[in-house]
Structure 1
Amino acid sequence: MQYTTKQKAIVLLADGTVFHGKSIGISGTTFGEVCFNTGMSGYQEIFTDPSYFGQIMVTTNPHIGNYGVNVNEVESNGVKIAGLICKNFSFNYSRPDASESLYDYFEKQNIVAVSDVDTRALVSYIRDNGAQNAVISTDGTSIEDLKAQLAKVPNMKGLELASTVSTKEPYFYGDENATYKVSALDLGIKTNILRNLAKRDCYIKVFPFNASYEDLKSFNPDGYFLSNGPGDPEPLHQAQKVAKEIIAENKPLFGICLGHQVIALANGISTYKMFNGHRGINHPVKNLLTGKGEITSQNHGFAVNKEELEKHPDMEITHLHLNDDTVAGMRMKSKNCFSVQYHPEASPGPHDSQYLFDTFIENIKSTSLQKV
């Protein structure tokens, strides 16, 4: 549908800075940590990625909505962002296999979105001043009232959010007759991760974020997976305990993003909240094991402490982010455990890192051979 009467809307940052825009037509007020993604495509996957729960998304691509929505290309059961800020919102779409317009998709889920914002200025401001809480409002609420409400919103540091997006009950994914069985801890898992594992002949049982090692072990899996997800990894004590127990028994373990951070914490290596984080589909990473570069899709606001990792006797840095030299991957020297701080399952996005799923399968195979 085409929404013609655009009402005024505002973007208010925690430090008091205000940006102006227009409502796309869904009235309301929403709060979250404001962040930006530099990807030129993939807005549907961004909006449905559980890792973005609790965040207001600023898209740097000026055109959002122009190819509509395809219900088969979502990363979860619905939109997970708290709200959207964009430059030009397209009510009409031209993609032949789109299921519906982005507006209709947002309207069904009551997602507040603001367009006609100077997103270049906003992103530049966030780059200079760091990620912070914000509110977007399209219903005419006064700035003073919004400031009072925004002051009560908790900061992302120390915030446990995995429980809000994790499955409540275990479920299965893939072919039950597949060669390999994998237990996955759902901290906010993306559907395309499950697709990539299933494509490699895996049958996956997905467990809630607070499942015990005994729960995961009851599936009698060949390997274990710790997923991506939102929020601070430090409060996830149960997940860290699970990681420690898997590592202690030297079972094949693979972690992505939040799972990567949980593995670090399980080894006594701290994590920290980044000034801005990495969110986009063109982040350069160097594989230190092969010397090759990779273009990667990334989405994280926390990172592993590099100095502590380098001093750990049983840990090795395997990948580095070439923009800021932060840790992008690691592995244990004496255990069957590795992890990365980016998304090898990216779709749309670069496929340079899909070999990591193959590495996980090879680790499972080598462990199985050792049992024979």
Structure 2
Amino acid sequence: MNNQVKRRKTKAVNVGKVQVGGGAPVAVQSMTCTDTRNVRETIEQIEALEKAGCEIVRVAVPDAEAASVLGKIKKSISIPLIADIHFNHHYALMAIEQDVDGIRINPGNVGKKNIAEIVRAAKDHNTVIRIGVNAGSLEKELQEKHGGPTAHALTESALNNLAFVEDMGFDRIKLSLKSSHVPTMIDAYRLVADKTDYPLHLGVTEAGTLVTSAVKSSIGMGLLLHEGIGDTIRVSVTGSPVLEIGIAYDILRALDIRRVGPDIISCPTCGRCEIDLFGLVEQVEHSLSGMKDYMKIALMGCVVNGPGEAAEADVGIAGGRGMGLLFKKGQVIRKIREEEFVKALLQEIQEMTGE
């Protein structure tokens, strides 16, 4: 970890086998987009998420049928399972009875009386509760008081509900204050981080398609993480949730907060590029999907910066005119033909990591 990033000190909670807060590594979370009632498809997607590096997964619970199958899903997966609850608190109680690792409740659409019942059940089962405040479903009185879902309104909602839960003697809590408006999201997390030491789950909600989500998430979560704020993160993408995981780890690697998986450095290409760099990067990324060991890999397309960048990486290729130099730890290993690039590179990586 980069010593310049001083993590905010928080309480620790255990979400299943994953510690969140208390100095633990920032955990990467996602959410399935399957119909939870379809147990087979949901389990398959969770397995794909885990293979990509997801460490905590959340599923939607829109009705009693979805709530009733959570136990089956939990028994079939190996990462912690979170039930996402809106409106009907009975689904939360059903989820807790089936020993899910955590539940996410939205105070804006559950209600204080029902939250109290959820907390009592969670105490009996040692279930973690995420109080998830969302700009799109904020309590009406707070919207009127603050003139909309502002950062101060989100913070007041989070702190009010936190105090209510704490008064019941419950502290297995995470907080999130999400908005699709990046400046609001940043300000809200900064405000609440100054007022409580509970772990914070970061996210820009409804962030959009892949590129838009990557930009919004990198700016919103990246700024906060660089300030030491954030204990779990989720990149929200319209599309396959598996796409979220790579972006999340890219953010953490870029800030030198977590070194997990392949850090692929490749040039943007220009008129000097004399190899199929696009194809090379695509093949290597696909082949290394799900790799856990950190490794800096340089894939360079010309002789200007290529050799220097490749030599700085753990392993890399600097190519030109259908040929390339294979580097390992700063040393040239051998000269190879372009059609051998992928095979030779993957062979070196396998020897270095065992993966």
TM-score w.r.t. length of structure 1: 0.27
> Higher helix proportion, which one?
2
TM-score w.r.t. length of structure 2: 0.28
> Higher strand proportion, which one?
1
